[in-house]
């Protein structure tokens, strides 16, 4: 995608290819669109073909380059094969681990099946992607890995036992990968958003609070000290910075995008 008029010279990704999991919607789509607007070629891995195709079409309509493949991040064999095929065609400089699922429940109400499902997607899925990609980055002079974590990984949230467990693991994995591959010019950071207004939130409210969606949305929004939820574009802006050369001195960091949630709660 040619850089749009008015886009500043900083934070450019021209000549780079970014691989984004879960790029079909929400935060992943916002990151894909933002990266493409700043010159990156985008490749999306998603289970939802229609959503992935829609993101690619939006990028293409503005002159950018984007492609997608249907992939399950929990399937290491298939994922590694897909990564190898893609990396044979071009160098991948950026990996964004975004695909994940949420869950509501305490340790008492969380079933073993749900706990295993969240670990498989939110933890093993990230591991699978990094496992498949770090060798390629190491052999090609480095790269950037960005993991989408959550404020739930470092703050005690009610009824988020399994989700908090997995996002805490994502933060720890980020620190570990940053340390282990520092010498190979591979930077690894994560972003920890608080509540972000995505279609997931709207669907959750419709399912669980029919007729009270507006009331409950306002309650959830006000739980952030800043008084509202984040927008996906706001997370994408931080992602762009962390994956750009302007952040070349930053690795092993967890960036909160939380409207003051962690430090300013009453």
Lowest mean per-residue pLDDT among 2-6, 110-114, 232-236 = 2-6
- Distance separating alpha carbons of residues 42 and 32, to the nearest angstrom: 7
Superfamily of domain covering 17-194+232-253: NAD(P)-binding Rossmann-like Domain (3.40.50.720)
Split at pLDDT 50, 70, 90, the class of 200 is confident
Q: In what order do the strands lie in the sheet with 186-193?
A: 66-70, 41-46, 17-21, 94-97, 143-148, 186-193, 254-257
Question: Alpha-carbon distance 164 to 167, whole Å?
Answer: 5
- Report, as an integer, the average pLDDT of 210-235: 90
> In this model, does residue 5 exceed pLDDT 80?
no
What gap in Å lies between CA 100 and CA 126, rounded to an integer?
9
Question: What is the C-alpha separation between 235 and 191, in angstroms, rounded?
Answer: 8
Catalytic (active site) residue 163: yes
- Cα separation of 58 and 43, whole Å? 13
**pLDDT at residue 71 above 80?**
yes
**Catalytic residue selected from 68, 126, 127, 163:** 163
pLDDT digits (tens, 9 = 90+) for 238-265: 999 999 999 999 999 999 999 888 777 6
CA distances from 38 to 14, 16, 170, 234 (A): 7, 10, 27, 15
CA 115 to CA 30: how far, in whole Å?
A: 28
Domain ranges of the chain: 17-194+232-253, 197-229
Mean pLDDT of the chain: 93
User: Is the pLDDT reported for residue 75 higher than 80?
Assistant: yes
Res 199: pLDDT: 82
- Kindly state the helix (H) or strand (E) to which residue 85 belongs, with its residue range: helix 76-89
């Amino acid at each position: 995608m040619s850089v749009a008029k008015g886009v500043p010279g900083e934070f450019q990704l021209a000549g780079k290819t970014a691989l984004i999991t879960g790029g079909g919607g929400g935060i992943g789509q916002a990151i894909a669109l933002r990266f493409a607007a700043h010159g990156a070629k985008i490749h999306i891995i998603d289970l939802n073909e229609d959503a992935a195709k829609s993101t690619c079409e939006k990028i293409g309509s503005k002159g950018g380059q984007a492609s997608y493949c249907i992939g399950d991040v929990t399937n290491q064999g298939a994922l590694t094969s897909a990564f190898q095929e893609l990396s044979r065609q071009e160098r991948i400089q950026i990996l964004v681990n975004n695909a994940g699922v949420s869950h509501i429940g305490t340790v008492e109400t969380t079933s073993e099946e749900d706990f295993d499902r969240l670990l498989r997607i939110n933890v093993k899925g990230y591991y699978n992607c990094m496992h498949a990609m770090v060798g390629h980055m190491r052999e090609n002079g480095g790269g950037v890995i960005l993991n989408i974590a959550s404020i739930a990984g470092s703050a005690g949230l009610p009824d988020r036992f399994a989700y908090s467990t997995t996002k805490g693991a994502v933060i720890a994995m980020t620190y570990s990968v940053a340390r282990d591959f520092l010498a190979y010019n591979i930077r690894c950071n994560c972003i920890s958003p608080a509540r972000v207004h995505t279609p997931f939130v709207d669907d959750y409210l419709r399912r669980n609070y029919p007729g009270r969606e507006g009331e409950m949305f306002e309650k959830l929004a006000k739980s952030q000290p800043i008084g509202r939820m984040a927008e996906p574009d706001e997370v994408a802006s931080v992602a762009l910075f962390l994956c750009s050369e302007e952040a070349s001195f930053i690795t092993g960091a967890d960036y909160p995008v939380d409207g003051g949630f962690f430090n300013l709660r009453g």
